[in-house]
Structures are given as structure tokens and as C-alpha cells.
Structure 1
Amino acid sequence: MNTNRLSDTLARALNDQMTNEAHNAQIYLSYAAWASDKGYDGIANFLFRHSNEERNHMMKFLEYILKRGGKVVVTEIPAPGPDPLSVNDCFERIFQSEVENTTRIYGIVDMSLAEKDWATWNFMQWFVKEQTEEETMALDLLAKIKKAGGASADNDALYVLDNELAGTPDDATLAQDTSVENP
């Protein structure tokens, strides 16, 4: 008896996204190692935590594919690419990576809607919200870096930013979570 509840197209897309989440984890890991090497331990800590978060996302896709009776296909993870040129460059690249990931997530949502696979559509809604958080987090960090001087930030400003990121929460506040009492 066939217990697979995923179309071949959706199974392929979900497996590809699982690999993409692993790739994103490698990007964060690589950038964290770069930041640590440059003496930015707070930034490194923040990026190491986000690398773990991306690995958790990968596992969510893996488990979902298994629970829907699909076949998990583990493939090669692309290299994360070259080291950032600066803290500003690091977070610009992170923002771009998150935007690209959002586009991929939306593609799977569209596909599940077109196929009327409501279970997958529902599963993907968590990732839609998560990507909103990830993009908001990256934009907030870019705004802080811009205030610190952007690509021209001096060591004093980067020292303050590094210390602040060591204790920055992993989740951003989303627009739908705000109110008059809690802006």
C-alpha cells in the first residue's frame, strides 16, 4: 500500500528546501566563524545561534516529509561562499539570503495551494511567519549598523554593536504582535 501523501513535485520542493535550510545554516556558521576570527564574539554568538536555528528548520522539513510518507533525499550542501568583507557586508548578505529563502518558501506555499495539499499549506504557514521574523531581524540589524556608520563604522561603534548582539534575542517583534500597549 502506498502511504505517500506528497506529490512528486511537492516532495522534490520540500527536499530542496530542506537542503536550502542546511545551506543557510552553513552560511550563518561560516559568518560566525569569520566574526569570531575578527574578535567580534558577540556577533559570532548571535550568528552561531542562528546557524542552529536554521538546522532546526532543516529538521522540520525532514520530519514533515517522513510524516507524510515521502522519501527524504539528502544531497550535497553548497559551500557558503566567501567571507564577508565587513560587519556591514555580513549583515547585508544575511538579509539577501533571508529574502531568497522567503521567495523559496512562498513558492512551496503557492505549489501546495495549487495542488490543494492543505496539510503542506498549513505546515508552511509556520515558515511564512518565521521568514517575516528573519527578514525583520536582518533589517533591524542593518539599521543598527547604519547608525554605527555602516560600511565605515569605526572600532568603537563596532565594539558597542558586538556587545549588544551578544544579548540580542533571536526573534524579532513582528507587526502583528504589536498593539497600542505594546508598540
Structure 2
Amino acid sequence: MNRNRLSPEMESGLNKQMTQEAWAAQVYLSYAAWAASEGYNGIANFLFRHANEERNHMMKFLEYILERGGKVNIDAIAKPPQDPSNVQDCFEQVFKQEVDNTTSIYRLVKLSHDEGDWATWHFMQWFVKEQTEEETLALNLLDKIKIAGGTSATPEALYTLDRDMEKEPDEAELAENKTVEKP
């Protein structure tokens, strides 16, 4: 008896997304190691936490595929890109990677909708919200870097930014949660 409740296309897409989440974890891990080697321990701490978050996302996909009776395919992940040239470049690359990930998530949402696979559609809604948070967080950090001076930031400004990043929350507050009383 076939217990797989995922279409072949959906199973393949979910496996690809699982691999993409693993790659994202490696990117964050690589950038965290770079930041630590540059003396930015607060930024490194933030990036290490996000590497772990991406690994958790990977595991969510793995578990979901198994729960739906699908076959998990563990593929090799590509080497992360080269080290960033500076703090601004680091977070520009983080933002780009998150936007690319959002695009992949949206493809799976559309596929689940087109197939009428409402279980997968529902599962993917958590990732839609998560990607909105990730993009917002990256943009907020880029704004802070810009205020600090961007690529021309002084060592003092980078030191302050690094200390702030150590305590930076891992999630951004989304516009959908804002009210007139609490903008």
C-alpha cells in the first residue's frame, strides 16, 4: 500500500527546500565564523543563533515529509559563498539569501494551492510568516548598519553595533501585529 500523500512534484519540492534550509544554516555558520575571526563576537553570536534556527527549519521539512509518508532525500549542500568583505556586505548577503528563500517558499505555497494539498498549504503558512520576519529583521539590521556609517563606519560605531547585536532579538515584530495604540 502506498502511504505517500505527497505528489511527486511536492515531495521533490519539499526535499529541495529542506536542502536549501541546510545550505542557509551553512551560510549563517560561515558568516558567524567570519564575524568571530574579525572580532565581532556579538554579530557572530547573532549569526550562530540563526544558523541553528535554519537547521531547525530543515528538520521541520524532514519531519513533515516523513509524516506525509514521503521519502526524504538527503542531498549534498553547496559550499557557502566567500567571506563577506565587511559588516554591511555580510548583512546584504543575509538579506539576499532570505529573499531567495522566500521565493522558494512561495513556490511551494503556490504548488500546494494548485494541487489542493491543503495539509501542505497549512504547513507552509508557518514558513511564510517566518520569512516575513527574517526579511524584516535583515532590513532592520541593514538600517542600523547604515546609521552606523555603512561601509565607512568607524571602529567605535561598529563596536557599538557589535555589542547591540549580541542582545538583538531573533525575531522582528511584524506590521500585522501593529496597532494605532502600539505602532
- Measured against the shorter chain, the TM-score band is over 0.9
- Structure 1 counterpart of 2:6: 6
Cα deviation for residue 15 of structure 1 reads 0.1
Name the SS for the 2:49 alignment partner. Answer: helix
Determine the C-alpha separation between the residues in 1 that align with 2:9 and 2:93. Answer: 30
Paired residues, number:
183
- 1:1-183 matched pairs, under 5 angstroms: 1-183=1-183
Deviations 1:64-112 (Å, cap 9, x if unpaired)? 0000000000000111110000000000000000000000000000101
Question: Which consecutive residues of structure 2, in runs of 5 or more, have no partner in the other structure?
Answer: none
Query: Could you state the TM-score of these two structures normalised by the residue count of structure 2?
Result: 0.99
The residue type paired with residue 41 of structure 2 is D
The residue type paired with residue 8 of structure 1 is P
The residue type paired with residue 138 of structure 2 is A
Determine the C-alpha separation between the residues in 1 that align with 2:73 and 2:167. Answer: 37
Runs of 4+ in structure 1 over 4 Å off? none
Deviations 1:128-180 (Å, cap 9, x if unpaired)? 00000000000000000000011111111000000000001100000011112
Identical counterparts, % of pairs: 64
Cα deviation for residue 181 of structure 1 reads 2.4
Determine the C-alpha separation between the residues in 2 that align with 1:88 and 1:22. Answer: 23
Query: Could you state the TM-score of these two structures normalised by the residue count of structure 1?
Result: 0.99
Determine the C-alpha separation between the residues in 1 that align with 2:111 and 2:129. Answer: 18
Question: Which consecutive residues of structure 1, in runs of 5 or more, have no partner in the other structure?
Answer: none
